[in-house]
Amino acid sequence: MTATRIQKKICMLGIFGVGKTSMVRRFVFEKFDDSYLSTIGVKVNQKILPPQENSEHKMIQHNLLIWDIEGFDDKTKPLNNYFIGSAGALVVADLTRMESITSLPTIFETFQAVAPEAKLVLVGNKMDLVDKEAPTLVELTQFAAEGDIAFLPTSAKTGENVEAAFQKLGLLLAD
Amino acid sequence: MDATFFKKLLDQNSFGYAFLNQDLRIRTHNRHLARFSMRDRNLEMALLTDLFPETVGLDQIFEEIFEQKRFSFELTHMNRESDEGQTIYFNFFLYGTGNKDIPYFFLVEDKTREAELAQELSQRSNEIRLLEGLLSARSGNVSARIWGQSLPIENLRAQIEKMGRIPTATILLQGESGTGKSMAARVLHESSHSSDAPFIEINCAAIPETLLESELFGYNKGAFTNAVTDKKGLLEEADGGTLFLDEIGEMSLPLQAKLLSFLETRKFRSLGSTSEKEVKIRLIAATNQDLGAMVKERRFREDLFYRLNVVRIQLPPLRDLGDDILIIAQNFILTLAAEFKKPVNSLDKPAANKLLNHNWPGNIRELRNAIERALIFCEGQKIGADDLHLGSLQRDEPSSSPLDRFKLPKDGLAFAAIEKKLLEDALKMSNGNQSRAAQLLQLSRDTFRYRLEKHDLI
Ligand SMILES: Nc1nc2c(ncn2[C@@H]2O[C@H](COP(=O)(O)OP(=O)(O)O)[C@@H](O)[C@H]2O)c(=O)[nH]1
Ligand SMILES: [Mg+2]
């Protein structure tokens, strides 16, 4: 049985520098770069996920259009148009910067106002730089639990959990 | 004004455009469109979503435009890699035409210049804030790696965190043997350097004088008989990072002079070389001796002492840390028990008292060794006072681990004989229990048995 290919648009959300571009680069190209190049606007990448069974036992295969969007920083620049038509979002926080966590409520609100049905996965990136008791990790775990949002710590640098985070989102999209 | 006027206008300003039918297929387009599209030929009748995947998911928008509920839609700063590998940026616009055959007009405008400027601006301000995040994460690690909460430890932590932020050229770590000078040096290094900056460590007491000089400064081919190739010195290896000189009190006076001259000029000459090299390093020196007293006895150069002494961090002896002894012991229990795969998780009360009443001449290193040995013997979940063998190794030799004092005699020694002696001692200490003996030597049982057989001890 061949899987039905379904195109889905997902957005990478988070303030600047949390590792959105690095997550995409790791996931799509299996690469990582320590140097930083700030993203302006949007870069769309594609990645085809392995076939999976949805809740109606049909084999489907997602072709993800991953929107790597610039950070939620410049308040004067509305990003709303970027979100239209998103089936999901990977929300990225940076475990080395508390500001990336305090900004999350605004990010969720803005995004969900445009795409209320979109599925969400939250990640705490740069886990290679902090230890397990880091206050940011504790805070983020709690935030995810309270909002009932799927959460994973990740490292775009070592690759840990990056694939898993996208797979998780893929799974949510399948239903 | 007619349509050709607009066509010309758009062409001349490098806009790309297309008219689309209701299925979002390209009906007509100009040549510039290809530059922005995923494909550079056969655009005719291609699907817009194939050429511009950025338009996937916009069904709602297209519908509104078709029904003329919406006049236009715009997305800004889409990125695309050009054939030459450069990033081009464009904005695109969708308009309704009111014409049922070609209801959509798609317009693309090059925004590369503008976006590059915006990129440079955000790059600069973001970089600084990212670095701050990185540094605070690192200093978080500092707090995590220095154990304890007593006043001397809080002071030490504050001092190390401060030094991590200030790029001082030299730091002197002073403290009794086993107080963690080497760990402090590493934490200082990590809190102020990127993860790939070199950290080079050398113990001045462990290396003969002449060798130390060539190790530090390097040599050129032919500098002395055995110098058959050029060799980089540790100063050069540490360029861009930290050089940690442990037991600097053991350095000879002539070598001290050479080190001082390096610290003053930041330049040095390899042995046998005529040209000077310049390196950027932070020097961390450590000693358990009283350098001030050594200066008075003329065993340490006064000028070098003053240069090193500018920033001095004193590491407190374990006996001054009060209940921190228990915190530190507990941390060792947890980390070492995991390593040894033992279900031990704490100390019982008498064991805790025993630790608090000991005077720890070998400091943290002695404590670590004591816990390690106790874990080997402990059978339950809690270490008892009897599991702790304090002072047995340290009483007559205050300086810590036996390895520190072991030196190869000048005329050598049979390695096999030592191995055999260690195996015999371990068997004796564990009353012939082979598993315990293997643990004492930190060998797997298989390796241990193999070695016993080798020496005919079975
Ligand atoms: N150590 C570490 N650095 C990371 C990780 N992810 C991203 N970075 C670095 O963080 C900086 C910002 O990453 P980037 O992907 O450009 O962030 P964006 O602005 O969210 O797209 C870059 O210097 C990356 O190399 C990670 O998991 N670990
Ligand atoms: Mg980015």
Indicate the residue among B268, B300, B316 that finishes a domain. B316
**Residues B290 and B364 placed together within one structural domain of the fold:** no
B284-300 burial: b if 16+ Cβ within 10 Å, else e: bbbbbbebeebbeeeeb
C-alpha dihedral over B442, B444, B450, B456, to 10 degrees?
Answer: 50
Ligand 1 in reach of A36 Cβ (< 6 A)? yes
- Cα gap B191→B156, rounded to integer Å: 14
Ligand 1 in reach of A22 Cβ (< 6 A)? yes
Residue B102 falls inside a structural domain: yes
- Cα gap B218→B273, rounded to integer Å: 9
Domain that holds residue A139: 4-174
Ligand 1 in reach of A160 Cβ (< 6 A)? no
**Residues B35 and B104 placed together within one structural domain of the fold:** yes
Which domain CATH number covers B370? Answer: 1.10.8.60
Residue B122 falls inside a structural domain: no
pLDDT at B399 over 50: no
The reply to whether residue B74 touches residue A94, judged by beta carbons under 8 angstroms, is no
Ligand index nearest the alpha carbon of residue A92: 1
**Residues B273 and B347 placed together within one structural domain of the fold:** no
**Residues B285 and B207 placed together within one structural domain of the fold:** yes
A129-138 burial: b if 16+ Cβ within 10 Å, else e: bbeeebebbe
Residue B39 falls inside a structural domain: yes
**Residues B284 and B376 placed together within one structural domain of the fold:** no
All residues at 6 or more sequence positions from B232 whose CB lies less than 8 Å from its CB, including other chains: B218
All residues at 6 or more sequence positions from B252 whose CB lies less than 8 Å from its CB, including other chains: B209
Determine the longest span between alpha carbons in chain B, in angstroms.
Answer: 107
Which domain CATH number covers A92? Answer: 3.40.50.300
pLDDT higher at B74 or B446: B74
Write phi, then psi, for A76 (nearest 5 degrees). Answer: -80, -15
CB B144 within 8 A of CB B161: no
Residues of A in CB contact (< 8 Å) with B are 7, 9, 16-17, 36-44, 46, 65, 70-71, 73-74, 81-82, 84-87, 94-97, 126, 129-131, 133-135
Residue B263 falls inside a structural domain: yes
**What pLDDT digit, counting tens, does each position of A124-143 carry?**
999 988 877 777 888 899 89
**What pLDDT digit, counting tens, does each position of A80-119 carry?**
999 999 999 999 999 988 889 999 999 999 999 999 999 9
B38 lies within 8 A of chain A by CB = no
Triad B51, B46, B91: Cα angle to 5°: 35
Indicate the residue among B274, B290, B316 that finishes a domain. B316
All residues at 6 or more sequence positions from B84 whose CB lies less than 8 Å from its CB, including other chains: none
The reply to whether residue A85 touches residue B60, judged by beta carbons under 8 angstroms, is yes
CB B181 within 8 A of CB B175: yes
**Residues B341 and B429 placed together within one structural domain of the fold:** no
- Which residues in chain A have their CB less than 8 angstroms from residue B57's CB? 9, 65, 84-87
Which domain CATH number covers B242? Answer: 3.40.50.300
All residues at 6 or more sequence positions from B90 whose CB lies less than 8 Å from its CB, including other chains: B16, B36, B77, B78, B80, B108, B109, B110, B111, B112
Across the interface, of A17, A44, A131, the residue whose CB is closest to B126 is A17
Q: Give the pLDDT score at B155.
A: 93
**Residues B246 and B355 placed together within one structural domain of the fold:** no
pLDDT at A78 over 60: yes
Enter the tokens of residue B147. 């154990």
- Which residues in chain A have their CB less than 8 angstroms from residue B58's CB? 84-85
Query: Which amino acid belongs to residue B258?
Result: K
Q: Give the pLDDT score at B138.
A: 65
Q: Give the pLDDT score at B139.
A: 64
B45: number of Cβ within 10 Å: 10
**Residues B291 and B302 placed together within one structural domain of the fold:** yes
- Mean pLDDT for chain B overall: 87
ipTM score assigned to the predicted complex? 0.91
Domain that holds residue B247: 141-316
Enter the tokens of residue B86. 């450069």
- Cα gap B43→B37, rounded to integer Å: 9
Residue B378 has, within 13 A of its CA and on its CB side, a CA count of 28
Residue B115 falls inside a structural domain: no
B39: number of Cβ within 10 Å: 10
Enter the tokens of residue B228. 């058959």
pLDDT at B307 over 50: yes
Ligand 1 in reach of A91 Cβ (< 6 A)? no
**What pLDDT digit, counting tens, does each position of B240-262 carry?**
999 999 999 999 999 999 999 99
Enter the tokens of residue B176. 């009794």
Write phi, then psi, for B323 (nearest 5 degrees). Answer: -65, -15
The reply to whether residue B73 touches residue A129, judged by beta carbons under 8 angstroms, is no
- Look at phi and psi of residue B81 and say left if phi exceeds 0, alpha if psi is from -120 to 50, else beta: beta
| CA of residue A110 relative to chain centroid, distance | 15
The residue-averaged pLDDT of B128-133 equals 77
**Residues B56 and B186 placed together within one structural domain of the fold:** no
- Which residues in chain A have their CB less than 8 angstroms from residue B49's CB? 7
Ligand 1 in reach of A20 Cβ (< 6 A)? yes
Pocket test of ligand 1: the residue of A26, A36, A136 to mutate, having most ligand atoms within 8 Å of its CB, is A36
Indicate the residue among B316, B343, B371 that finishes a domain. B316
CB A154 within 8 A of CB A162: yes
Residue B396 falls inside a structural domain: no
- Which residues in chain B have their CB less than 8 angstroms from residue A70's CB? 77, 122
* pTM attached to this predicted model: 0.59
- Cα gap B96→B88, rounded to integer Å: 26
pLDDT at B396 over 50: no
**What pLDDT digit, counting tens, does each position of B35-80 carry?**
999 888 889 999 999 999 999 989 999 999 999 999 999 999 999 9
Residue B68 has, within 13 A of its CA and on its CB side, a CA count of 5
**Residues B198 and B285 placed together within one structural domain of the fold:** yes
- Cα gap B238→B284, rounded to integer Å: 12
- Cα gap A9→B273, rounded to integer Å: 63
Ligand 1 in reach of A9 Cβ (< 6 A)? no
Q: Give the pLDDT score at A91.
A: 98
Overall domain count for chain B: 4
DSSP secondary structure of B65-119: HHTTS--EEEEEEEEEE-TTS-EEEEEEEEEE-S-SSS-EEEEEEE-HHHHHHHH
**What pLDDT digit, counting tens, does each position of B21-47 carry?**
999 999 999 999 999 998 888 899 999
**Residues B199 and B294 placed together within one structural domain of the fold:** yes
**Residues B364 and B230 placed together within one structural domain of the fold:** no
- Give the position of tokens 């205050």: B398
Overall domain count for chain A: 1
